[in-house]
Amino acid sequence: MFSKSDIQRNRLKYLLKKSERFFIIGHTKPDGDSVGSTLALTLALTRLGKKVTPACIDELPARFNFLPQAEKVKKLSSAVSELQNADAIIVVDCGSFHLAGLESYRSNKPLPLIINIDHHHDNPRYGTINLVEDKSSSTAEIVYNVIKSLGMRVDEQIATCILNGIFVDTDSFKNPNTSIETLRITSDLLSRGANLAQITSSNLKDKSLSTLKLWGITLARIKKNKRLGIISTAVTNEDLKRCNATPDDLEGIANFLNSVPDAKTSLVLSERGGNEIKGSLRTLHDNIDVSKLAATLGGGGHKKAAGFSIPGRIVNRGGRWRIV
């Protein structure tokens, strides 16, 4: 008896072999899993002789420039013709369709068939084909199995892209989503030449002066709610300007705050533009699901890592940070 996942895998395998033109896109504000999955599929399908366009609505963070084919990822706004002429759109690591930034293009002209590859447990299955496996550590882990099912050799370049996705979404193998299967796949990727040293350096070690200054300001504002066990901090647009930093320089802070003893959940609030605040939630506790909290504020994500965006500004009133 075939499971639903087996059926989706077989349909996907057939479609990937049959179709010729693919448009691959990850979510807004791309992270290591989204980028790694996009590039691994791009490399694999290109080597099958397919015409592939990798894209994203936002620019890729500079820390991912070392990944093979990163320079080929187009801004969505400049890849509309490729989008409309594709046989299929592969949407990776998007728990909701709107995170890909394709909604406005859907209203202009019917989109091609959509393949949804993801590991978010609350994914609504918005594709024609939905390969959604919420037990996987990352979308990259699912992509590894997809590429293997095509009978392709996972070479050094593909292995590096996949391992980057796994490394980031497991918080360098520290999160509870790191399974025996995750470590087995990681071992195989390393045996195939995945560049763990570069992945580690780019995601953990390489910090610019502006990043360190911003982290200093952010860490100095840490507050702890003893009753709830929440460690929180706030970042304003003015902080970014003072440090000559960007929102990308905040990457990793939410995870870092969970190193505080007795911390159950971490929350980083950061201003984005004129009237938007982004919240990043993290936890290492099995009995806490931060995606549920994020969902009450219009966001979502994983049980251990989630986010949301709300209108407003962060202001300091009498030494206490408030949202207005």
Q: What is the dihedral of CA 38, 39, 42, 45, to 10 degrees?
A: -100
Output helix, strand, coil percentages for the chain, rounded to the nearest 5.
40, 20, 35
Question: Does residue 163 sit in helix, strand or coil?
Answer: helix
Question: Which residues pair with residue 131 across a beta bridge?
Answer: 117
Measured over the CA atoms of residue 26, residue 30, residue 83 and residue 44, the dihedral's sign is negative
| Residue 159: per-residue pLDDT | 98
* Tens place of pLDDT per residue across the chain (324 aa): 567 777 888 899 999 999 999 999 999 989 999 999 999 999 999 999 999 999 999 999 989 999 999 999 999 999 999 999 999 999 999 999 999 999 887 766 678 899 999 999 889 999 999 999 999 999 999 999 999 999 999 999 999 999 999 999 998 998 888 999 999 999 999 999 999 999 999 998 878 899 999 999 999 999 999 899 999 999 999 999 999 999 889 988 998 998 888 889 999 999 988 889 999 999 988 889 999 999 999 888 888 888 999 999 999 887 778 888
Alpha helices in the chain (DSSP H): 4-18, 32-47, 80-85, 103-108, 139-149, 156-169, 180-191, 196-200, 209-220, 237-243, 253-257, 290-295
Question: Which residues pair with residue 310 across a beta bridge?
Answer: 277
Question: Would you say 117 and 141 are in contact if contact means Cβ atoms under 8 Å apart?
Answer: no
| Residue 115: per-residue pLDDT | 97
| Residue 273: per-residue pLDDT | 82
Question: Would you say 31 and 164 are in contact if contact means Cβ atoms under 8 Å apart?
Answer: no
Question: Would you say 154 and 148 are in contact if contact means Cβ atoms under 8 Å apart?
Answer: yes
Q: Is 264 exposed, middle or buried (0-12, 13-18, 19+ CB in 10 A)?
A: middle
Where do the domains of the chain lie, and which CATH numbers do they carry? 4-204 (3.90.1640.10), 209-323 (3.10.310.30)
DSSP state of 94: -
Query: pTM for the complete prediction?
Result: 0.86
In the sheet with 223-225, reading across from the earlier edge strand, the strands are: 223-225, 230-235, 265-271, 276-282, 305-311, 300-301
Nearest CA among 221, 251, 211, 246 for reference residue 322: 221
Question: Would you say 199 and 105 are in contact if contact means Cβ atoms under 8 Å apart?
Answer: no
Report CA Rg, the chain. Answer: 20
pLDDT digits (tens, 9 = 90+) for 194-253: 999 999 999 988 788 999 999 999 999 999 998 999 999 999 999 999 999 998 899 889
Please provide the distance, in angstroms rounded to a whole number, between the alpha carbons at the two ends of the chain.
Answer: 55
